[in-house]
Chains A and B, each alone.
Chain A
Amino acid sequence: MRKTSGAASGSSFARRSASGRSGMTAGLRAFLHSMAPDVIRETQNRVEDCLAHTATEVNEYGFDPFGFHRERAKPFFTACTLLYEKYFRVEAHDIERVPKGRVLLVANHAGQVPTDGLMISAAMLTVAQPPRVARGMSEYWLGALPWLNDVARAMGTAVGTPETCVEMLKRDECVLVFPEGVRGLNKTYAHRYELQPFGTGFMRLALATKTPILPVGVIGTEEQQIGIANLTKLGKRFGMPSLPITLSFPWLGPFGLLPLPVKVHLYFGKPLYFQGSADDEAGVREKVDVVREALATVLQHGRAGRRGVFV
């Protein structure tokens, strides 16, 4: 039932340090050690193999209709997997619950930088059987960020418009959404694990395309950055959805956005199947609340089961 991936597939040093030491240093040490060339090469080969086994169809130049590209994505998925296994030492629980075919993963969003999305992507690629590309639905402004927009697109992410989401679901993809959006991502530390209000868009799309919804509780990333304030107006002036102030950002510059080496758990809930009209406002709201409740339960269960923030 329990599937661990982080320690199990890493080097012996990583395993020892992850279990033996406690606190932040364990994660940092394991991560630095993982920078050894042989570990990187081994991870890269594994990622390549997983990517080759994903079902997403591409054209003769390697692109799928939304810009996903295995070759281009490989180095970034490798980096992601190293973070997954060595830095955050992620454990993915009950990932076999993800049904075959189209599915909508609904997760909590936190921690100022969207590592939660990256970790779920890494889990779906390297742990799930068969491997899948999690198609993240991103904030609108990601599409305008130089370089990052290219990387995100090659890894299968797209700016979250309803039309794109429907097209992806029609192709039986695994789409990842954070219905809290920036409200969740940029909330302050005091509000960690408090689910913010959900948008209803994802439920309409799920109903229209008869897609099962699977709540994914992300434990750990809510503590990766200690958010103390949010300067929404100032952020908007810079073209960002919000400007978070954390213990380290913006005081340390861009480095201040680096997440702490928290221990991350991904809890995959049971798939939820809904029926009804996408235009029934009250009905949609009700169903969204069912998903939110289910995710809250998963989170509660996950928090109760952990030993500490860094172990």
Chain B
Amino acid sequence: MKKVFITGAARGVGRLLALRLVDRADVVGVDSVRWEGHPGEIHFVQVDPGRRQIEEILREERPDTILHCGLLQDFQASDAQRYDFNLLGTKQLLDLAEHLSVERVLVLSTAMVYGAFADNALALSEDAPRLASRDRTSLRDLVEADYLAEAFCWRVPTIRTLVLRPVHVLGPSCENVFAQYLRLPTVPTVAGFDPMLQCMHEDDLVAAILLALEKNLRGVFNVAGPGAVSLQTVIREVGSAQISLPESLLRFAIPRLGALANFVFPSVLIDYLKFSLLVSGARFEDASGFRCLYDLEETFHGVVRT
């Protein structure tokens, strides 16, 4: 690994990766947002989502590794915007990777693509279908990007492609929908439901990615955290106030009323607040020898509330 191209380099896991890799390789980072005060060794470019710019940078820099950490998982943008950004962006990036014959590609997906359903198996393997968009079209961009990356992994054998599906990532710099949900002033849950879920610390995910790169893994892997607990346990441990509300209220009233009060409730999460989504990380752990450094308590306390 001589030159690394990182998408989503100004935020969350992408940023943490850029900072960790800067000692070992030339790092080229892009993101749609600014990165104030990034280290001088990192060649960072703020790009606008019209993606010609990325192609130019890639052709010029010719990286051997592409780490695609820029999938939007915070649902701030509209469905259509995210569809363009996540799906078309991933498609273009993978096409370019093939065309420019990079050595390896990482796509950082999410375990949310499996979807939360009442009849989920409780240790989903990587072969389980990604059903998250079955009932809710809001997640189709992430699901389709995941399928695209998986297909690319087997279609282009000359490129070592790694698709990781981590469980909910928590940590001071993470801007995903679940972390945002936990930071709400009062965290609403669905009355009558307290599903099981898994979380992991952002530092653990970064360590997992570095380990996977070191071991030259290819393929699709879940990355499970240190264990499973119920949603209300997470909320309590994070230190948030919790309120149980009827589902109808959460689904219809809160998003509309909340918008007036500048309170953004991620409705896309509601199924995940009702039904358990548990994945098995055994395949990744066997292949890489990865073990979480943070235990459950440390993982929860990594969420900084603002």
Interface residues, chain A, with chain B CB atoms under 8 Å away: 59-61, 63, 65-67, 69, 140-147, 149-150, 153, 158-159, 161-164, 167
Q: Is the CB of B296 within 8 A of A67?
A: no
Q: Is the CB of B122 within 8 A of A143?
A: no
Q: Is the CB of A158 within 8 A of B122?
A: yes
Q: Chain B contacts of A147 at CB under 8 A?
A: 192
For the complex formed, measure the closest distance between the CB of B134 and the CB atoms of chain A, giving whole angstroms: 15
Closest chain B residue to A61, Cβ basis: B229
With A60-B227, A65-B228 known, 4 other A-B pairs at CB within 8 A are A59-B229, A146-B191, A159-B119, A163-B125
Distance A142 CA – B229 CA, assembled complex (angstroms): 20
Residue B233 at the A interface, CB < 8 A? yes
- Residue from the list B121, B193, B233 in contact with A164, Cβ < 8 A: B121
For the complex formed, measure the closest distance between the CB of A163 and the CB atoms of chain B, giving whole angstroms: 4
Given A61-B296, A67-B276, A164-B123 in contact, is the A159-B228 Cβ separation under 8 Å?
Answer: no
Q: Is the CB of A59 within 8 A of B228?
A: yes
For the complex formed, measure the closest distance between the CB of B119 and the CB atoms of chain A, giving whole angstroms: 4
- Residue from the list A66, A142, A145, A150 in contact with B194, Cβ < 8 A: A150
12 contacts between A and B (CB under 8 A): A59-B226, A60-B297, A63-B233, A65-B122, A67-B276, A143-B118, A143-B275, A145-B192, A146-B193, A150-B193, A161-B121, A163-B124
Q: Is the CB of B122 within 8 A of A67?
A: yes
Interface residues, chain B, with chain A CB atoms under 8 Å away: 117-125, 128, 191-194, 196, 226-230, 233, 237, 275-276, 278, 280, 295-297
Closest A-B pairs by Cβ, 3 of them: A146-B192, A143-B118, A163-B121
Q: Chain B contacts of A65 at CB under 8 A?
A: 122-123, 227-228, 278
Distance A61 CA – B120 CA, assembled complex (angstroms): 22
Q: Chain A contacts of B194 at CB under 8 A?
A: 150
Q: Chain A contacts of B196 at CB under 8 A?
A: 63, 66-67, 153
Q: Chain B contacts of A63 at CB under 8 A?
A: 196, 227-230, 233
Distance A13 CA – B16 CA, assembled complex (angstroms): 69
Q: Chain B contacts of A144 at CB under 8 A?
A: 118, 275
Closest chain B residue to A147, Cβ basis: B192
Q: Chain A contacts of B120 at CB under 8 A?
A: 143, 159, 161
Q: Is the CB of A59 within 8 A of B227?
A: yes
Say whether chain B's binding surface is mostly helix, strand, loop, or mixed. Answer: loop
Q: Is the CB of A67 within 8 A of B118?
A: no
Closest chain A residue to B229, Cβ basis: A61
For the complex formed, measure the closest distance between the CB of B113 and the CB atoms of chain A, giving whole angstroms: 17
For the complex formed, measure the closest distance between the CB of B270 and the CB atoms of chain A, giving whole angstroms: 13
Q: Chain B contacts of A150 at CB under 8 A?
A: 192-194
Q: Is the CB of A167 within 8 A of B122?
A: yes
Distance A162 CA – B192 CA, assembled complex (angstroms): 26
Closest chain B residue to A60, Cβ basis: B296
Distance A158 CA – B193 CA, assembled complex (angstroms): 14
Q: Is the CB of B119 within 8 A of A163?
A: no
Distance A146 CA – B191 CA, assembled complex (angstroms): 7
For the complex formed, measure the closest distance between the CB of A172 and the CB atoms of chain B, giving whole angstroms: 15
Given A67-B276, A143-B275, A153-B196 in contact, is the A61-B233 Cβ separation under 8 Å?
Answer: yes
> Which of A60, A61, A63 has the most C-beta atoms of chain B within 10 angstroms of its own C-beta?
A61
- Residue from the list A60, A61, A149, A164 in contact with B118, Cβ < 8 A: A149
Q: Chain B contacts of A162 at CB under 8 A?
A: 121
For the complex formed, measure the closest distance between the CB of B233 and the CB atoms of chain A, giving whole angstroms: 5
Q: Chain A contacts of B121 at CB under 8 A?
A: 161-164, 167
Q: Chain A contacts of B233 at CB under 8 A?
A: 61, 63
Closest chain B residue to A68, Cβ basis: B196
Distance A167 CA – B123 CA, assembled complex (angstroms): 7
Q: Chain A contacts of B193 at CB under 8 A?
A: 146, 149-150
Q: Chain A contacts of B229 at CB under 8 A?
A: 59, 61, 63
Closest chain B residue to A146, Cβ basis: B192
For the complex formed, measure the closest distance between the CB of A244 and the CB atoms of chain B, giving whole angstroms: 21
Distance A63 CA – B225 CA, assembled complex (angstroms): 14
Distance A150 CA – B230 CA, assembled complex (angstroms): 10
> Which of B230, B233, B295 has the most C-beta atoms of chain A within 10 angstroms of its own C-beta?
B230
- Residue from the list B119, B128, B230, B297 in contact with A143, Cβ < 8 A: B119
For the complex formed, measure the closest distance between the CB of A100 and the CB atoms of chain B, giving whole angstroms: 24
Q: Is the CB of A60 within 8 A of B295?
A: yes
Closest chain A residue to B190, Cβ basis: A146
Distance A65 CA – B121 CA, assembled complex (angstroms): 12
For the complex formed, measure the closest distance between the CB of A53 and the CB atoms of chain B, giving whole angstroms: 23
For the complex formed, measure the closest distance between the CB of A9 and the CB atoms of chain B, giving whole angstroms: 32
